[in-house]
Copies of this chain bind each other. A is one copy, B any other.
Amino acid sequence: MARLSFVGLGLGPTGTSLEGLDEIRRSDVAYLEYYTAPHEPELIGRLQGATGRALEVVDRAFVEDGSRILSEAEKKNVVLAVLGDPMIATTHDELRARAIRRSIETRVIHAATIASAAASESGLHYYKFSRTVTITRESVGKLTQAYRILHENLLEGAHTLLLLEYDVVSGEGVSPTDAMQGLLLAEASYKRGVVSEGTFALVLSRIGRKDALLAAGRIAELSRRDFGTAPHCVVIPGKLHFTELDAVAAIFAVKQSDVRGNSDAVVRTAQTLVPRYVAKTRKALGSVREKTQSQYGSVLENVELYTKDAERFLADGEDEMAMLSVGYAEGLLDSLSFAGLVKIDW
């Protein structure tokens, strides 16, 4: 039997699953890829102790090239052990596709990844996270895409996870301070009111390890602190449910009154306009009803129905339909006025 197995090592030196350890044990050749998180001396020792196999540490170039891995996997059981979940990185998807095209059997053994663990550990509801942003050393000076995604997520009331790059070879990475200052820089340039010194953020450092550190606060405070060695990530909460508020306060050991979401400051056009137009239309409807004959009853009934529709659409996040409905309701009422049939006090 020959195959190529991608084995996830999870978050710390003891994050590998029973199945992953079995797979390393059964391998003829085992590689340990090591470039996105700082070296943990304990990891190799634990893996070798638990499996009785020596692991050869390889770098990104070796995996991207992949030719030795693929030719060995045609005859032997080859394991590529990877921190976190093995298929989060594009490189591994590509290597797997190449193996399959060469008729090499492949296996994937999943493990915890910072991408889901950080979100889940934050106390925020996991399914309220929207698109994740990776901040690289290259992009941190001009966070155009990160700023746009953060804006969209906040408009939806969704939370945003920022993963901060770390390069194990150079020992360099993006610190939480770099990331937060990068966002403030983007704000200064795009001015959409997405982020400010008052933005409430969470910093999660070394999640899943013994020296994990959690911190919550406003960017003004957090961006002045040193959170130690990588990996780090930052969460910008959107709209908070009261159970999230409660969980964040407990988990991050801050006062409930200091915890706040950042979506309220960022508003959708319809959120401002629909309630305003609905109120205006209802008031006008009331004034017309007092002084109008029943011959326009069908119009007035429809005005009422469509203002209700507008509210329902808005609650469902159907902004365009909410605007259409409230516009229609206003039009119905105004028409009677334009036609000189009723006098409306708007």
List chain A positions with a Cβ less than 8 A from chain B.
Answer: 8, 10-12, 14-19, 21-22, 46, 50, 85-90, 93-94, 96-98, 100-101, 108-113, 115-117, 120-121, 123, 125-127, 129-134, 144-145, 148, 152, 156, 158, 207-208, 243-244, 246-247, 249-251, 253, 268-270, 273, 277, 295-296, 298-299, 302, 306, 316-321, 323-336, 338-341
Minimum CB–CB distance for A212 against chain B, Å: 9
Cβ-defined contact, B18 with A120, below 8 A? no
Minimum CB–CB distance for A55 against chain B, Å: 15
Question: Considering the chains assembled together, what is the distance between the CA atoms of A21 and B10 in angstroms?
Answer: 14
Cβ-defined contact, B243 with A148, below 8 A? no
Question: Considering the chains assembled together, what is the distance between the CA atoms of A321 and B151 in angstroms?
Answer: 14
Residues of chain B with a CB closer than 8 A to A116's CB: 85, 88, 110, 113, 115-116
- Nearest B residue (CB) for A47: B18
Cβ-defined contact, B132 with A131, below 8 A? no
User: Do A145 and B96 form a contact, CB below 8 Å, given A296-B339, A338-B299, A339-B341?
Assistant: no
Residues of chain B with a CB closer than 8 A to A324's CB: 273, 277, 323-324, 326-327
* 9 A-B residue pairings within 8 Å (CB atoms): A16-B17, A85-B116, A96-B250, A97-B123, A101-B250, A131-B131, A299-B339, A327-B331, A329-B331
User: Do A88 and B19 form a contact, CB below 8 Å, given A331-B328, A331-B335, A333-B335?
Assistant: no
Cβ-defined contact, A148 with B318, below 8 A? yes
Cβ-defined contact, B18 with A251, below 8 A? no
User: Do A251 and B321 form a contact, CB below 8 Å, given A120-B87, A329-B331?
Assistant: no
Minimum CB–CB distance for A138 against chain B, Å: 15
Residues of chain B with a CB closer than 8 A to A333's CB: 331, 335
Minimum CB–CB distance for A47 against chain B, Å: 9
Minimum CB–CB distance for A176 against chain B, Å: 19
Residues of chain B with a CB closer than 8 A to A269's CB: 318, 320-321
Q: A90-B125, A110-B112, A328-B328 given. 6 additional CB < 8 A pairs?
A: A12-B19, A16-B18, A110-B208, A144-B316, A277-B324, A331-B334
- Nearest B residue (CB) for A336: B335
Cβ-defined contact, B17 with A14, below 8 A? yes
User: Do A110 and B100 form a contact, CB below 8 Å, given A323-B321, A327-B323?
Assistant: no
Cβ-defined contact, B339 with A112, below 8 A? no
8 Å CB contact of A18 from B50, B158, B295, B328: B50
Question: Considering the chains assembled together, what is the distance between the CA atoms of A15 and B334 in angstroms?
Answer: 65
Cβ-defined contact, B8 with A19, below 8 A? no
Cβ-defined contact, A10 with B336, below 8 A? no
